[in-house]
Amino acid sequence: MKRYILLLLIIVPVVFVIFGCNLNAVSIEERISMFRDALEAADASDMASHIHPDNSMKGALRTNNTWGPISIDEDNTFGSISGSGSTRTATFDDGAENYEGTFTFTMKEDEPDVWYIDRLYLDSYSDYIF
């Protein structure tokens, strides 16, 4: 009897982990927060890692000079994240008063519960950054 209980105690958690949850899950808010942290740390390569793998610009965005109006430095700041569905907004200030306004993030799911940034629009730039 002890053997069956022990076996059950091992099998149930394994089944739950395999079928019940995605251990790699990244919510929309988490992904944007990770992107914000990389931007504020001036790490273009880390910023690019938060872009959806299907985005054709992902490779080019790994260097500091390909982010359009965004100056990759520690002076960048984000405001709170808001929105619903697959679209979120956050206020942005580059610290130099060149570009401040609102980022609009269009998100795309890569696998269940793993979200990436697919498009990024800055209203004061009046165009998509990617």
Give the CATH number, domain containing residue 116.
3.10.450
- Please enumerate in sequence order all residues whose Cβ is within 8 A of that of 111, keeping only pairs 6 or more positions apart, or say none: 22, 24
Q: How many CB atoms lie within 10 A of CB 16?
A: 10
Q: What is the pTM of this model?
A: 0.76
Residue 23 and residue 116: Cα distance in Å, rounded?
A: 16
The three-state secondary structure class of 6 is: helix
Per-residue tokens: 62: 């790994």
Residue 75 domain-assigned (yes or no): yes
Query: Which tens digits make up the pLDDT trace of 23-69?
Result: 789 999 999 999 988 888 878 888 889 999 999 888 878 776 657 66
Is 79 part of a structural domain of the chain?
A: yes
